[in-house]
Amino acid sequence: MKFREVIPLKQSLDFFLTLPGSKSITNRAFLCAALAKGKSGLYGALESDDTVVMLKALRQLKIKSYTSTVLSTGELRNGIGIEGCGGRFEKGDFMFDLHNAGTATRFLTAVMAIREGTTTITGDRRMQERPIKDLVEGLRQIGVQVEYLNKTGYPPLKIIRTKDYGPAYRTGRLRTKLAVQMKGDKSSQYFSALLMLGPLLPKPLKIEVIGELVSKPYIDTTIEVMKAFGVKVKNNNYRSFEIKPQTYKACDYWIEGDASASSYWISMAYLHDGKVGFSNLLTPSLSKKLVHKENLALNSVKTEKLNKKSIQGDERYGFILKNLKNLNSKLEIDMEDMPDVAMTLACTVPFIKGQIKITGLSTLRIKETDRLAALEKELGKIGVKVKTTNDTLRTEGWIGQSSLQGKGKVLINTYNDHRMAMCFAVVGTKIPGIRIENPGCTDKTYPEFWEDLERMYLSKPIKLGNKNLVLTGMRCSGKTRHGKKIAKLLKRPFVDLDHETEKVAGLSINQIVEQKSWDHFRKLESRVCQEFADQSGLVIATGGGVVMDEENMKNLKKNGVNVFIFADPNVLAERVEKHSNTRPSLTGEGAISEIHDIWQERRDLYLRYADYVWDNTTGKVVGDSLERVFS
């Protein structure tokens, strides 16, 4: 899909899910396992663009990996076995195209210093715009020979090491220790790369931080993963780090869920007065109001397979939101330790009264895109006043629904940045008309994001009592298909209002329109609505245009619960073309080409009358969730 529209949520959520494994932890664990001697089992690993790139590079180096199912469970899925090389990679010349994978690029640039041969590291256009100079200068300080192949300070790079270490460590031969001094204000990944290289060097390594170190929790994550693989790092209060020559040891390691990914669901729960919980992430800082009951039930049996305590800083995001609830003036929030979720915060605070300044964001300038500039531009499209500096973002005032009146739809550019897509999905659950460009970019870290979003809409159980269930939505949204399933599940009669209208007329809808008119069809439709609205205990699938008549909806809602089934208009057009291109046109433009215009005309009406909103864009989630929704 080139674009995907996000539909506002009308109900609250009560969502419990398994997050994708942490990208940060997965790529660190992959590398540590590759450097260890023996076989490691990694469970809960993320399978996404960035981690596939890392695993592919390791396979190029003849590191064996395989699917491991012995210890894998339903909640800690994606077991991957890696047979490490004990720090002795395949010799020779290699070239790695690492796309836009920042962790893979920085980590492999450092670790390839121990490999005999020439290593060329490149990436896509954006990766070649992302600075790496500080890491290269750090490596050069311990004698590693690194050359820029294009623009100084940026990939592509060439790392050269000869058999006797040649120029690589000559400058350090007479020293008792190797030392690196590096600025701390650019990227913590540079430090993580050197930390993982340290145990493999022939002498102890000391890394000194110049200035203040940003994103300290990511350093903590690196140190904790290394510790699991038998390597110790001395952290001198983030002013310096010391690593002695050591051996990575193979182990079984469980990778916790991605705390950054949890921020989207936590924000949705916050904005919609709901609850959320995660099977593979410990979130002790969440407000009880936001915590799903199953999250509170995470016991030692479940968490023993994780790390007992989260090793990610972003898991504290819920604590940040707790403090915003009663904000009425100005607040400054330092997000230096969790810049990735600062983006989620930036897309949440526009719905909170007061002025909020988010600081500590300098690293966002050199990510997959210039994220500060992107946030400023895209939030501006929905009427949010945003001001940015080199490392801050400030929102001015508060946005209400009125800010979008008359706009109809807003295209959000993602700049091929996965976090831009997911952050603005949060916005889309509050504001109608948000269309996300290139939704597939979430594959970088969260391939199942859109399916999980659809599950979120279905997370709130529906209690009908004796009321009718009324399904509204556009043609081919799935009203009839799922209505029949629900009726069978609940042992209720199923009513298709279009079919009932055809029975009354003794004609098909096509014939009614051709021989009479659309107005005549709508009058018949209203009579049928009234007839079934007066009954109870039914599952009713309405025609797509029933919402155009206020009296119809008043009648249906008097004794009914209305579920609006949404699907992206582009998907609807594909379904109509494939399955249902037999209905007469409403506008004379053809049933397929008119779908977008009809959607713009009806969207606000569907939302106005809906008690619940479901998203059936993929067509994969709704059917599998019905038994739980109506249990």
Does the residue 111 lie in any domain? yes
Would you state the structure tokens that stand for residue 590, as one six-digit string? 């053809």
SS3 labels along 417-443: CHHHHHHHHHHHCCCCCEEEECHHHHH
Domain boundary among 185, 220, 254: 254
Nearest partner of 395 among 415, 410, 414, 378, judged by Cα? 378
| 75 and 7 co-located in one domain | no
| 397 and 537 co-located in one domain | no
Does the residue 460 lie in any domain? no
Burial of 75 (0-12, 13-18, 19+ CB in 10 A): middle
Does the residue 461 lie in any domain? no
Which range of residues forms the domain containing residue 84? Answer: 23-254
Is 340 catalytic? The answer is: yes
| 7 and 124 co-located in one domain | no
| 237 and 262 co-located in one domain | no
CA distance 403 to 216: 38
| 398 and 425 co-located in one domain | yes
| 54 and 177 co-located in one domain | yes
| CA 440 and chain centroid, separation | 11
CA distance 571 to 217: 41
| 441 and 484 co-located in one domain | no
Q: Give 10-residue mean pLDDT values along the chain (631 residues).
A: 94 94 94 96 90 95 78 52 94 95 96 96 94 96 96 97 50 69 93 97 96 92 96 98 97 91 94 90 52 40 44 73 70 89 93 88 88 94 92 79 58 95 97 96 94 98 97 96 98 96 92 91 93 96 94 95 97 86 68 86 96 97 97 87
| 556 and 571 co-located in one domain | yes
DSSP per residue, 278-304: ETT---TTS-TTTB-HHHHT--HHHHT
Helix (H) or strand (E) holding 558: helix 550-558
* The pLDDT value given to residue 163: 55
CATH number at residue 325: 3.65.10.10
Contacts of 86 (CB under 8 A, 6+ apart): 35, 36, 37, 247, 248
Does the residue 456 lie in any domain? no
Does the residue 405 lie in any domain? yes
Does the residue 149 lie in any domain? yes
φ, ψ at 164 (rounded to 5°): -95, 30
Q: Is the C-alpha dihedral spanning 66, 70, 76, 82 positive or negative?
A: negative
| 57 and 117 co-located in one domain | yes
Burial of 124 (0-12, 13-18, 19+ CB in 10 A): middle
| 238 and 262 co-located in one domain | no
Burial of 357 (0-12, 13-18, 19+ CB in 10 A): middle
Does the residue 96 lie in any domain? yes
Nearest partner of 365 among 14, 129, 561, 525, judged by Cα? 129
* The pLDDT value given to residue 322: 76
| 38 and 166 co-located in one domain | yes
Q: Read off the pTM.
A: 0.87
Domain boundary among 447, 480, 508: 447
| 420 and 513 co-located in one domain | no
Task: Report the SS3 class of residue 457.
Answer: helix
Domain count, the chain: 3
CA distance 199 to 196: 7
Query: Are the CB atoms for 317 and 338 separated by under 8 Å?
Result: yes
Does the residue 457 lie in any domain? no
Q: Which residue has the tokens 């600025």?
A: 183
CA distance 296 to 170: 56
CATH number at residue 568: 3.40.50.300
Q: Which of 258, 340, 417, 496 is catalytic?
A: 340
In the chain, DSSP finds a helix count (H) and a strand count (E) of: 23, 26
On the CB side of 488, CA atoms within 13 Å amount to: 8
Burial of 139 (0-12, 13-18, 19+ CB in 10 A): buried
